[in-house]
Amino acid sequence: MKITVVGAGAVGATTADNLVRKNVAEEIILLDIKEGFAEGKAQDMMQTSALLGFDSKIKGVTNDYLATAGSAVAVITSGIPRKPGMTREELIGTNANIVKTVVENLIKHSPDIIILIVSNPMDTMTYLALKSSGLPKNRIIGMGGALDSARFKYQISDKLNASANDLNAIVIGGHGDTTMIPLIKHATWNSVPVADFLTEGEEQEIVKKTMVGGATLTALIGTSAWYAPGAAAAAMVESIVHNQNKLFTASVYLEGEYGQEDINIGVPVIINNKGWDRIVPMNLSAEEEELFKASAEAVRKMNDVLYAEGVLKK
């Protein structure tokens, strides 16, 4: 079993580190275009094996896609990260060509690969990967919803002074500060609705903090976050490799589900060795349905940029 992580920056390296610590695969390839960068990160991680007790191997390579041959799963983190004040949407022009090239190179050497997209704007990059690759829709997955849902659980746990592991709470919609939809009315604390413990004002505060979670960290750190995104990507890869059938919110291609077509956007899905296996329906309120429709329209406008700039052709 081989897994490839493309991009040895903060998110990519953290993804690889999480995977190697859990012995998820026999070999992990960490690839970057910067000479020696991935090799150095890989050596640093391998030097922790005697301390942490893992046996997986991680190999760093510089732009050598031949080394990725036979990968079962690839995680794409390539592209420029956000800077303070920058939206995910502003990254589309630069990151689109990077992601398209990476996908082509991966498929060339691993035709049966499952691809997990982390690069922003994530929903649009996932749509681009699907449309440009020709792979079956279930083998292209966008990570954002898993991260947003983890941030949502953190905000709820912080407010309730509860363990995040006791919470069930998901975010659907686009992976953007104005497009994600934290489903606060569906969230539970060991099967008890969290709404039973919160005022309406507290619910709104949790939702708002969740939606700007990425921007908050970017302002504090000076660049995009990496610990939680890396952990989210690794958790999804683990569910694929070990066929765990775990439910994540992920950006997947809709063909009528949730009232949308020809779009990749975050909905709850089952993740296993097929990639994403099936979409899980939810009973949304009229208000939630309208929010999801508006989120889809915003994502679709970003997708239109791919056609306007000639990255994709209709």
Three-state SS sequence of the chain: CEEEEECCCHHHHHHHHHHHHCCCCCEEEEEECCCCHHHHHHHHHHCCHHHHCCCCEEEEEECCHHHHCCCCEEEECCCCCCCCCCCHHHHHHHHHHHHHHHHHHHHHHCCCCEEEECCCCHHHHHHHHHHHHCCCHHHEEECHHHHHHHHHHHHHHHHHCCCHHHEECCEEECCCCCCEEECHHHCEECCEEHHHHCCHHHHHHHHHHHHCHHHHHHHHHCCCCCHHHHHHHHHHHHHHHCCCCEEEEEEEEEECHHHCEEEEEEEEEEEECCEEEEECCCCCCHHHHHHHHHHHHHHHHHHHHHHHCCCCCC
* Residues identified as active-site: 175
